[in-house]
Amino acid sequence: MSDNTVSLRNSVAASLIKKVLGIYIAVTIVVTCVQLVIEYFHVKHSIMHDISTMEKTFEAGLAEALWTFDARQLQSIISGMNELSAIVGVKIDNDEGAEIGSTGSILSRKEQVLVTPDGERLTSSSHIFTPLKGMFSHSFQINYNDPLTKGISSTGRATIYSASNVVIDRIKYGFFLILINSAIKVALLWFIIFYFVGRIVGKPLAVLTEAARKMNPANPEFFKIKYSPEEKKLLKAEDELGVLTRTFDSMRNAILERIDNLYRLRHIGEELAVSHEISSTFTRIMTTMKEKFAFNKGLLFLADDQDILRMTACCPDAEHNVPEAGSFQPGEGMAGKAAGKHKVVYLSDPSDFPGEADPSEPLLCVPLTDEDTLTGTMNFFGNSGQFELTDENKVFLQAVARLAVINIRNIQMLKMIEENTRLKQEMDLARKIQTTLLPAKVNHQEIDIEAIMIPADEVGGDFYDILYGEGDELWIGIGDVSGHGVTPGLIMMMAQTVHTAITVHFKYTPREVVSIINNVLYKNVRERLGESHFMTFTTLKYLGEGRFEYAGAHLSLVVYRKKDKICERIKTEGVFLNFIEDISHATVNSYLTLDSGDILVLYTDGLTEAKNSKGELLDIGGFMKIVETHAHEDTEMLRDSIVRDVMKWCDSIRADDMSLVVAKRKD
């Protein structure tokens, strides 16, 4: 049997019949029994009365028979008395208590005896007759009125017997009438309960059951509430069933609204999942607001870094009716106050709040929050005023807001990932260019040179250059552009290109080379690109016999003197590149000489500014100690040892590029 079908046995009417009819039958049985007991004693009393009246009727005849010792007359009289329906036996005793005549069922010496018309006496032990139950009797004195003496003489005593059988025989027809009457009442009661309870209670409950059965999402009519005539009648009823029906209807409508909201939220979530633009996200939300609440215009405001809510999207495009809707702050105006309190607010009559919105249109403000942080607000307009901000609608709007926040965050994160990916690709390209432009190993008959550059995670502006210039002159250059990223990398490549072009094709001094590079950078970087990145740069020209001519402001040159076994620090002089257009007047040529076995070390600040786990800098002093420790090694091993010790100092965490050039005068 279907769960939606109620059998007759399990119906409300059957349940009521079982309970009510059971109680009624129990009461009827009790009342009937009481009636029978009362009727029994009433009939018994009536029989006793009838027996007592027989005393006057038969006393004279009995007295005459006893006075004259007429046994036949006596037996005839008592036999006649025994024929009466109320009498089961008669016994006559003399004044001494001796039985002198009897007939029927009598008690003799407390034993029931049946005296037959023939005078035979049968006892219960003879098993010939069945003793009567509930025997009762009436006795009276037999007196004889002597007509001669006018005196009264006692002749004996008569006892008339009756029994319960007589009483029951008299009341059994009344008992049957009582039973029939009770049966008729029970049947009528059963019919009344079954018919009227089924009609008044069962049928309305069946209507409600059918309505509940239709509340199944698999039912095509699930979202189509159609009231049957019975439902309409029940909705208007003022009794308990009417209240139950209206309560059920309210519950059904609330459930349908909640399910409809869940379907809409799922649909919104599915659409927002494929949305990659904030404007399209708001358009999809606006479609739902129009379908569900009849709002046809809306504005999306998102908080910027200063927590100012700025208009980010509107729907339809460029249509809104809020004065100065470009931006506002939390707490400013009703929309700002609603956003600041993180509460959904509906102004059904905006005319009460001048300046808040178009007086002709209600305003709905839905704040966007992310972990109690206000990220924006959605304002909707154009509703005809039929919208009601119920608890269910408020929950729905808050859920829409959460979906919007998640989607907007995802879009922003996606754009950030795309931007980071683009920057990473650019950085990878710049790093590849940066490392590709590094010179190959250069062999020189007097100077043994090794160099390395270890790029940081973010592209910097380090570069070094080792090449043969005009007239096979050895040039060594090293520099560092301020900042990180693509722009410093481009400036570095620009400087390297100019340095290579000048030294290879022209015969210039280091001072002239530095001045030309600065002029080119100033015009291209500062004037054309509008960038203010400066650059440290030193270039050295080898003159032979261990002598170098150099110019440009960079970090101090470190020279290890083999004879003294210590490092010498030589400060470079001049002006950083790209500060001013002409630095020729501040740039001079300087000179240094390497004796046999001496080592010139050029480096960038990524090495000296490396930090350990305590945040302590290696600094130039620590760097020089590392050089002194490994100065006895050949040039390639010395380069690798310096880098290894610096990386050990900073736990291989590089905050900047590390460039190193080691030039050792051969013995």
- Which residue, 415, 447, 472, sits at the end of a domain? 415
Whether 37 maps to a domain, the answer reads yes
Whether 612 is in a domain gets the answer yes
Q: Which residues of 5-32 are buried (b: 16+ CB within 10 A; e: fewer)?
A: ebeeeebebbebbeeebeebeeebeeee
Q: Cα–Cα distance between 14 and 193 in angstroms, integer?
A: 9
pLDDT at residue 321 greater than cutoff 50: no
More confident residue, 86 or 628: 628
> pLDDT tens digit string along 249-268?
777 777 777 777 777 778 77
* pLDDT at 502 (0 to 100): 92
Residue 520 has pLDDT above 80, yes or no: yes
Number of domains into which the chain is organized:
3
What is residue 364's predicted lDDT score, i.e. its pLDDT? 85
User: Which tokens go with 261?
Assistant: 């909201």
Q: Residue 242: is its pLDDT beyond 90?
A: no
210 lies in some domain: no
Per-residue pLDDT tens digits for 167-186: 888 888 877 887 788 788 77
Choice between 152 and 635, residue whose per-residue pLDDT is larger: 635
In this predicted structure, the answer to whether residue 354 has a pLDDT above a threshold of 50 is: no
DSSP 30-95: HHHHHHHHHHHHHHHHHHHHHHHHHHHHHHHHHHHHHHTT-HHHHHHHHHHHHTSTT-SEEEEE-T
Name the band, by pLDDT with cuts 50, 70 and 90, for residue 217. Answer: low
Task: Single out the residue in 370, 385, 415 at which a domain terminates.
Answer: 415
At residue 290, the pLDDT reads 85
Residues 397, 544, single domain; the answer is no
Q: Is the pLDDT of residue 144 over 70?
A: yes
Q: Are residues 460 and 596 in the same domain?
A: yes
Q: Give 244-249 contacts, CB < 8 A, sequence gap 24+.
A: 244/208, 245/204, 245/208, 248/208, 248/211, 248/212
Which of 287 and 245 is assigned the larger pLDDT?
Answer: 287
First CA to last CA distance, the chain: 109
Residue 204: inside a domain, yes or no?
Answer: no
Distance CA 6, CA 415 (A): 61
CATH number of the domain bearing residue 156: 3.30.450
What average pLDDT does the chain have?
A: 82
Buried/exposed 525-540: b ≥16 CB within 10 Å, e otherwise: bbeeeebebbbbbbbb
Domain presence at residue 151: yes
The residue out of 141, 172, 203 marking a domain boundary is: 172
- Which CA distances in Å does 119 have to 75, 100, 116? 10, 12, 5
Residue 322 has what pLDDT? 42
pLDDT > 70: percent of the chain: 83
Q: What is the pLDDT of residue 478?
A: 95
Least confident of 41-50, 423-432, 475-484: 423-432
Cite the beta strand spans of 344-413 per DSSP E. 345-347, 363-370, 373-381
Concatenating the DSSP letter of every residue in 483-552 gives: S-SHHHHHHHHHHHHHHHHHHHHS---HHHHHHHHHHHHIIIIIIII-----EEEEEEEEEETTEEEEES
| Strands of the sheet with 99-108, listed across from one edge | 121-123, 111-115, 99-108, 89-93, 152-162, 136-145
The yes-or-no verdict on residue 320 having pLDDT over 60 is: no
Task: Check residue 263 and give its pLDDT.
Answer: 76
Is the residue at 522 inside a domain? yes
Give the Cα separation of 284 and 275 in Å (integer): 9
CATH classification at residue 536: 3.60.40.10
* Residue 295 sits in the same domain as residue 357: yes
442 shares a domain with 411: no
Condensed to tens digits (0 to 9), the pLDDT of residues 569-589 reads 999 999 999 999 999 999 999
Assess whether 357 and 466 both reside in one domain. Answer: no
Residue type, 56: K
| DSSP one-letter string for 94-131 | -TTS-EEEEEEEEEETTEEEEE-TT--EEEGGGTSSPP
Q: Rounded distance, CA 632 to CA 565, Å? A: 9
Q: Please tell me the least confidently modeled range out of 96-110, 211-225, 297-311.
A: 211-225
H-type helices in 591-634, by residue range? 605-608, 619-630
- The answer to whether 375 and 310 are in contact (CB under 8 A) is no
Q: How confident is residue 401, by pLDDT bands cut at 50, 70 and 90?
A: confident
**Whole-number Å distance between alpha carbons of 120 and 104:** 10
Which token pair is 347?
């102004």
- CA Rg, the chain, in Å? 63
Domain assignment of residue 555, given as a range: 437-665
Residue 316 preceded by cis peptide, ω within 30: yes
Are residues 471 and 619 both part of a single domain? yes
Distance (Å, whole) CA 88 – CA 168: 14
Q: Which of 332, 326, 656 is nearest to 482 (CA)?
A: 656
In this structure, which long-range contacts are made by residues 650-653, counting pairs with CB atoms below 8 Å and at least 24 apart in sequence?
Answer: 650/610, 650/611, 650/612, 650/618, 651/612, 651/613, 653/611
CATH code (residue 297): 3.30.450.40
Residue 327 lies in a domain: yes
Flag whether 250 is in a domain. no
Check if the beta carbon of residue 227 is closer than 8 Å to that of residue 210: no
pLDDT at 205 over 90: no
Does one domain contain both 450 and 556?
yes
CA distance 19 to 189: 12
> Model's pTM, two decimal places?
0.48
Residue ranges in 123-196 assigned as alpha helix (H): 164-192
Are 70 and 153 contained in the same domain? yes
Are 143 and 41 within one domain? yes
Domain co-membership, 328 together with 365: yes
At 612 the pLDDT is 93
Q: Which residue type sits at 209?
A: T
- Taking residues 404-415, report their average pLDDT: 84
Lowest mean pLDDT, pick from 126-130, 167-171, 482-486, 549-553: 126-130
State how far the alpha carbon of 157 is from the alpha carbons of 113, 175, 197, 444, in Å. 18, 37, 67, 174
513 with 625, same domain: the answer is: yes
Q: pLDDT (tens digit, 9 = 90+) per residue, 57-67?
A: 888 888 888 88
Measure Cα distances from 429 to 424, 524, 542, 610 in Å: 8, 21, 33, 25
Contacts of 602 (CB under 8 A, 6+ apart): 464, 476, 478, 538, 540, 554, 557, 558, 660, 661, 663
CB burial of 574-597 (b: ≥16 within 10 Å; e: otherwise) equals bbbbbbeeebeeebeebebebeee
Candidates 167, 151, 180; CA nearest to 51 is 167
Residue 5: predicted pLDDT:
56
Share of residues in the chain with pLDDT > 90 (%): 25
Residue 322: Cβ-neighbour burial (10 angstroms; 0-12, 13-18, 19+): buried
Looking at the fold, whether 450 and 381 belong to one and the same domain comes out as no
